[in-house]
Structures are given as C-alpha cells and as structure tokens.
C-alpha cells in the first residue's frame, strides 16, 4: 500500500461520489429522469477532472520540488480542459435541465469546502 488508498484525497473523491448520488436521489424523488440525468452529468463534470488532477499529483509523489510543481500545473491545466470539454459534450445532449446540472456540479465541488471546514 502506498498510503494513497487511505489518503484525504481518496476520502474527498469518495464524498464527491456520495454527494452526486444523494443529489441524484433527491431529484429522483422530486422530479423526473431528465433532472436525475442532468444532476449526475453535472457531478461527473466535476468529479472526472478532480480524479485526473489527483492522479497527476499522486504520480509525482516522491519526486523533486520542480517535478511536483510541474505536475501541479499540468494537472490543473488538464483539469480545466477536462471540465470545459465535459460541458461541451454535456451541452450536446438534448433535453437536459440546467438547474439540476449546475446543482450536481456545485454540490460535487462543494465537497472541498466542507472538507476544509471539517479539518
């Protein structure tokens, strides 16, 4: 084990998945399938770039400061690019609802803020 499996990053990513599921269940109880799909897609648009960033940073562990900094910049650039591409693809899907899409996205991102508060 590398420590990665029990790290705070894995917990945060797990909480992101949990919040995406909870938001989707909430919309399933309150609305229809379009709202559920929209909220899940919004959550995925936040989760996938964060997972990419976490993997990039993890791969640089144990390296020199310059390599870690480069991994951080590349990871953040890739994260922004993945987010943009995710939304471009998502907006090609017909009949999506914007409110649950953004609610799922913001809910997944809010996990970082709650993690900071709980620290």
Q: Which residues of the chain have pLDDT under 50?
A: 1
Q: Residue 114: CB partners within 8 Å, gap ≥ 6?
A: 15
The structural domain count of the chain equals 1
pLDDT at 3 (0 to 100) = 54
Domain with 56, as residue range(s), is 4-118
Q: Residue 64: CB partners within 8 Å, gap ≥ 6?
A: none
Q: Please, are residues 41 and 93 in contact by the beta-carbon 8 Å criterion? A: yes
Return the H-helix or E-strand segment holding 27: helix 8-30
pLDDT at 1 (0 to 100) = 41
pLDDT tens for 84-108 read 999 999 999 999 999 999 999 999 9
pTM of the model: 0.85
């Amino acid at each position: 084990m590398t420590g990665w499996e029990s790290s705070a990053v894995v917990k945060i990513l797990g909480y992101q998945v949990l919040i995406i599921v909870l938001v989707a269940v909430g919309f399933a109880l309150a609305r229809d399938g379009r709202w559920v799909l929209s909220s899940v897609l919004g959550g995925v648009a936040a989760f996938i770039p964060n997972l990419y960033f976490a993997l990039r940073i993890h791969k640089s562990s144990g390296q020199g400061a310059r390599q870690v900094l480069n991994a951080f910049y590349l990871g953040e650039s890739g994260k922004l690019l993945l987010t943009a591409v995710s939304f471009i693809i998502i907006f090609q899907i017909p009949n999506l609802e914007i409110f649950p899409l953004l609610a799922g996205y913001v809910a997944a991102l809010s996990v970082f803020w709650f993690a900071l508060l709980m620290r």
